[in-house]
Copies of this chain bind each other. A is one copy, B any other.
Amino acid sequence: MMTKYNNLVKNAAGRMVPEVINGEKHIPFMGVGKYIPEGRKFAPRISSCANYPSDGNKTVPSLREALVRSGLKDGMTISTHHHFRNGDLIANQIFDVAKELGVKDLRWFPSASFPCHEHLIPYLQDGTIHRIEGSMNGPLGKFTSEGKMRGLGVLRSHGGRYQAVQDGEVQIDIAVIAAPTSDPFGNANGVEGPTACGLLGFALADSQYADKVIVVTDNLVPFPCIPWQIHGNYVDYVVKVDKAGIPEKIISGTTQITKSPDRLLIAELTSQFCDEAGIIRDGFSYQAGAGGTALSIGIYFGEILRKRGWKARFIRAGSNKYPVAMLEEGLVDYILDGQTFDLEGVRSMRENPGHVNTSPFTSYNYHGKGNFAGMVDVVILGATEVDVNFNANVVTHSDGYLLHGIGGWQNCLFSKTTILPIPLFRDRIPVIRDEVTTLCGPGELIDVIVTERGIAVNPARTDLLERMKGSPLPLKSIEELKDEAEKICGKPDKPALDDELVAVIKWVDGTVIDSVKKVGS
């Protein structure tokens, strides 16, 4: 049996992390921009057209047959993608097949997992699946936090997932791509067909680097399937099924602007801050998430642009009906979309040439010749906790439970200004702590914390502090914010955690930035 992990060492962030994880060597975090890789990218096997059907027809009758022909066997790495989010129907079927075939010890490498994947818990228990490397939202996170997964979980950002595949850190044996539309050659997209869900960007790395690639679709069209978000030239087999996914379930967070007075205040303070700091200007760019507060901030940004006759150059999204409305109103040139969060987003990506699909390669991969994250003027992100050094946590709650994935969160921190609009406390638990339970983002990359009771600017951002001099906004130190919360809620207890590790958190460069401990029993 492989070593789950070895003794811990202290990394550059002062966190204790293993160097051997699931039997493989990993590098502890060395500091932002400090680890420079010296190797070469993963080199997939060379294929030959001589081994593929000359008429381009790669269809096989079932997912089972495609998996068997792909050589599914013990210990393999199987990847899937979360374009359908909680409406994914395919990942569960793959492991149903694996169970039927008696295959064991698989590594599941999803781009994210969702509550719909609770179905897989018996397979984690019976040895079909050894471990998950990917976000473990909801029930799988709870299962893992309680120490029940045999292997150690590995959490990566979207960009880190691309990096890990590109660099050969994770070698995918079989990638299964659920696609709303495909042709028999395997060219595929997510914008056409009855289950259109948006883009297929999370599967790009897998298509490029996996040994075998299976496309599963419910809408088989004659060659050529245009646009070809996935190139059939990377695909081995195509499977037609009744339903590739449930597109109505792609909705992320809320599609409602917040009605909470505190959250509205946070949104207003955030947009005012951006305006006063000179971040909002003609041609600026931003990324805001899909929560109620973030949506409200986007609305404020739109109002400012409209009032002044300005136009944003691009919005990085997670798109939904709000940025789409801005695009169609002419308030922004482009939506650079990493993932569509509602069906209006899907429609817009299909119809608007300015609604551009991106991938973790273009947007987030830290081991490329640059990426787009650094070109975004301001990103608005969430966090479960922040500490007095501006370090932030996005994966565990303050009780230690691993309930969220990293998503693009770490990658976005490289924007010109990163703002976390967060409530000062949640369920009477302060959000600003002496130390975060799990370190996901180093404080040096987090610039501003906006709460309903004040705004803290990272002291390292002297330029922002300079620009905000004389502002009527409630600027405070982060310690002041923490004290205010503690005055109201009391000093929070540290979570009761076991010494045993259940997962590690990767940084964008593949190094290990923190460990996640088992929740104490």
Contacts and interface: CB of A to CB of B under 8 A. Distances in A.
Interface stretch (A16-24, A41-49, A240-248): A41-49
A264 interface: no
Contacts of A277: none
Contact of A234 (B36, B45, B231, B368): B368
A356 interface: yes
Contact of A371 (B40, B49, B51, B283): B49
Contacts of A55: 374-375, 416
A165 B370 CA distance: 23
A236 B48 CA distance: 31
Interface in A34-89: 34-56, 58
Nearest to A184: B375
Contacts of A40: 43-46
B222 A47 contact: no
Interface stretch (A113-121, A137-145, A359-367, A471-479): A359-367
B234 A49 contact: no
A495 interface: no
B367 A46 contact: yes
Interface band, chain A: 35 or more
A273 to B, nearest CB: 21
A370 B52 contact: yes
Looking at chain A's contact residues, the main secondary structure is loop
Given A48-B367, A370-B233, A185 B375 contact: yes
A224 interface: yes
Contacts of A45: 39-41
A368 B233 contact: yes
A350 to B, nearest CB: 10
Contacts of A43: 40-43
A361 B314 CA distance: 30
A233 B375 contact: no
Q: How many copies does the complex hold?
A: 2
Which of A166, A232, A334 has the most CB atoms of chain B within a 10 A radius of its CB?
A: A232
Contacts of A414: 49, 54
Nearest to A370: B52
Nearest to A361: B233
A36 B49 contact: no
A41 B44 contact: yes
A92 to B, nearest CB: 26
B223 A375 contact: yes
A354 interface: yes
A235 interface: yes
A167 interface: yes
A487 interface: no
Given A185-B375, A375-B55, A362 B223 contact: no
A426 interface: no
A94 interface: no
Contacts of A336: 224
A56 B375 contact: yes
A313 interface: yes
Contacts of A371: 49, 233
Contacts of A38: 46
Contacts of A369: 47, 49, 52, 58, 186, 213, 232-236
Interface string A214-238: 0000000011101110011111100
A461 to B, nearest CB: 14
A509 interface: yes
B226 A356 contact: yes
A228 B314 CA distance: 15
Interface in A434-458: none
Given A226-B334, A374-B56, A366 B49 contact: yes
A309 interface: no
A283 B222 contact: yes
A33 interface: yes
Contact of A231 (B313, B334, B362): B362
Contacts of A370: 49, 52-53, 56, 58, 185, 232-233
A372 interface: yes
Interface in A329-388: 334, 336, 353-354, 356, 361-362, 365-372, 374-375
Interface of A: 33-56, 58, 166-167, 185-186, 213, 222-224, 226-228, 231-236, 283, 313-314, 334, 336, 353-354, 356, 361-362, 365-372, 374-375, 414, 416, 509
Cβ-closest 7 pairs across A and B: A40-B43, A33-B50, A52-B370, A43-B43, A233-B368, A37-B46, A56-B375
15 contacts: A34-B50, A37-B48, A40-B43, A41-B45, A41-B46, A46-B167, A49-B371, A49-B414, A50-B509, A56-B375, A185-B372, A186-B369, A232-B370, A233-B361, A233-B368
